[in-house]
């Protein structure tokens, strides 16, 4: 079954309104290796909210473009990315761990240590042996009491200070898992809750080294540090390494682009070789990456020059 067929099957599965169970998940406590999990008992109204949230997250993807997950590609807003469940160990392990949420102890709103480590919530919806999993980033900041000031509510006339412990849940889902596929709806939080950013950073670190071999950068360490600490720059650098022209990249290839587009990129001579100079200011830090990613184009029709932020190869 293809990803497209599975996504359609998930929508059909949810139409049967299967029951829902919810749990919160926190990072492992000190000295532990497994994440800490607490089930979340829900009233009928609360269950209805999460049923609606999970259903609407999938319905919102109806008619969207489904494409394989590619961490180096910047998806358009109406895009649902997918990846085989077997390819992401962290998600596969989570689904195996949370097939049944009933054995887990209940969430204790007074457990400050657990709340400080909160990472995400997981919802399961099951009919017989068939299950769908939904994951959403969730942190201690969701607790209303952590914010300064007082919460007041309108009750039968006067306003009253609210003393109850309140946690705010939004109506988003970061990813859904059904059968053999993970459907990524919000890539940033999906990567964060499943700790994939470190993998991206390592790939970016290696890509920076490979780029520096082809196009020397005078202050290379500053460039590499910036790329591995900013996810957007890391993604773009990894994308550059995967371009079909990467092995041919050189200063000689880039110099005409710098000249034609009058790019403000400093060049220094070191040991007889030209080196690009990286600038870390927010408005300038992307220049070397954009240059190497062939983001500067000239229209054949109008001869106007453009800087693009997304490209799809057509041939």
* Maximum mean pLDDT: which of 2-16, 77-91, 150-164: 2-16
Give yes or no: residues 172 and 23 share one domain: yes
Give yes or no: residues 171 and 231 share one domain: no
Q: What is the pLDDT of residue 297?
A: 60
Give yes or no: residues 139 and 272 share one domain: no
Give yes or no: residues 140 and 242 share one domain: no
Domain membership of residue 238 (yes or no) is: yes
Give yes or no: residues 108 and 150 share one domain: yes
Q: What is the pLDDT of residue 75?
A: 76
The total of structural domains in the chain comes to: 2
Confidence tier at 5 by pLDDT (50, 70, 90): very high
Cβ 36 vs Cβ 121: under 8 Å? no
Give yes or no: residues 38 and 169 share one domain: yes
Q: What is the pLDDT of residues 49-62, one digit of tens each?
A: 999 999 999 998 88
Q: Among 169, 195, 221, which residue terminates a domain?
A: 195
Domain membership of residue 312 (yes or no) is: no
Give yes or no: residues 160 and 208 share one domain: no
Domain membership of residue 313 (yes or no) is: no
Q: What is the pLDDT of residue 231?
A: 79
Give yes or no: residues 227 and 209 share one domain: yes
CA gap 71, 106 in Å, rounded: 36
To the nearest whole number, what is the mean pLDDT of the chain?
87
Count Cβ atoms below 10 Å from residue 95 Cβ, excluding itself: 19
Confidence tier at 314 by pLDDT (50, 70, 90): very low
Domain span including residue 281: 199-307
Domain membership of residue 282 (yes or no) is: yes
Q: Among 129, 164, 195, which residue terminates a domain?
A: 195
Q: What are phi and psi of 233, to 5 degrees?
A: -70, -35
Count Cβ atoms below 10 Å from residue 254 Cβ, excluding itself: 22
Q: What is the pLDDT of residue 108?
A: 94
Whether the per-residue pLDDT at 74 is higher than 60: the answer is yes
Instruction: Burial-class residue 155 by CB neighbours within 10 Å (0-12, 13-18, 19+).
Output: exposed
Nearest Cα to Cα of residue 83 among 203, 191, 204: 191
Domain membership of residue 315 (yes or no) is: no
Cβ 136 vs Cβ 172: under 8 Å? yes
Give yes or no: residues 150 and 108 share one domain: yes
Give yes or no: residues 137 and 252 share one domain: no
Average pLDDT over residues 183-192: 90
Q: What is the residue whose two structure tokens read 């190497």?
A: 292
Confidence tier at 264 by pLDDT (50, 70, 90): very high
Q: What is the residue whose two structure tokens read 């085989």?
A: 84
Cβ 214 vs Cβ 249: under 8 Å? yes
Whether the per-residue pLDDT at 302 is higher than 70: the answer is no
Whether the per-residue pLDDT at 303 is higher than 60: the answer is no
Average pLDDT over residues 236-265: 91
Instruction: Identify any residues that bridge with 106 across adjacent strands, giving them in sequence order.
Output: 39
Q: What is the pLDDT of residues 34-52, one digit of tens each?
A: 899 999 999 999 999 999 9
Domain membership of residue 9 (yes or no) is: yes
Q: What is the pLDDT of residue 300?
A: 38
Give yes or no: residues 118 and 225 share one domain: no
Q: Among 179, 195, 211, which residue terminates a domain?
A: 195
Give yes or no: residues 184 and 208 share one domain: no
Confidence tier at 152 by pLDDT (50, 70, 90): confident
């Amino acid at each position: 079954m293809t990803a497209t067929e599975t996504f359609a099957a998930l929508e059909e599965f949810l139409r049967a309104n299967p029951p829902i169970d919810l749990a919160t998940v926190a990072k492992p406590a000190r000295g532990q290796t497994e994440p800490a999990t607490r089930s979340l008992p829900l009233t009928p109204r609360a269950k209805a909210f999460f049923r609606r949230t999970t259903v609407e997250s999938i319905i919102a993807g109806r008619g969207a473009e489904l494409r394989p997950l590619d961490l180096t590609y910047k998806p358009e807003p109406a895009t649902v990315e997918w990846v085989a469940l077997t390819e992401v160990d962290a998600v596969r392990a989570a689904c195996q761990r949370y097939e049944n949420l009933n054995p887990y102890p209940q969430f204790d709103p007074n457990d400050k240590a657990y709340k400080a480590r909160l990472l995400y919530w997981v919802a399961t919806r099951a009919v017989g042996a068939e299950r769908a999993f939904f994951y959403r980033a969730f942190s201690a900041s969701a607790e209303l009491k952590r914010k300064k000031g007082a919460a007041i509510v309108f009750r039968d006339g006067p306003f009253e200070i609210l003393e109850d412990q309140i946690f705010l849940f939004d109506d988003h889902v970061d990813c859904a898992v059904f059968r053999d596929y993970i459907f990524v709806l919000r890539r940033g939080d999906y990567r964060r809750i499943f700790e994939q950013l470190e993998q991206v950073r390592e790939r970016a670190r290696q890509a920076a080294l490979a780029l520096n071999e082809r196009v020397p950068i005078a202050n290379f360490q500053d460039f590499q540090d910036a790329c591995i600490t900013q996810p957007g720059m890391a993604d773009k650098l990894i994308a550059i390494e995967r371009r079909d022209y990467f092995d041919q990249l050189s200063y000689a290839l880039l110099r005409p682009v710098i000249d034609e587009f009058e790019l403000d990129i400093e060049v220094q001579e070191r040991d007889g070789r030209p080196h690009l100079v990286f600038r870390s200011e927010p408005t300038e830090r992307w220049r070397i990456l954009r240059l190497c990613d062939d983001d500067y184009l000239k229209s054949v029709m109008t001869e106007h020059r453009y800087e693009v932020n997304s490209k799809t190869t057509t041939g």
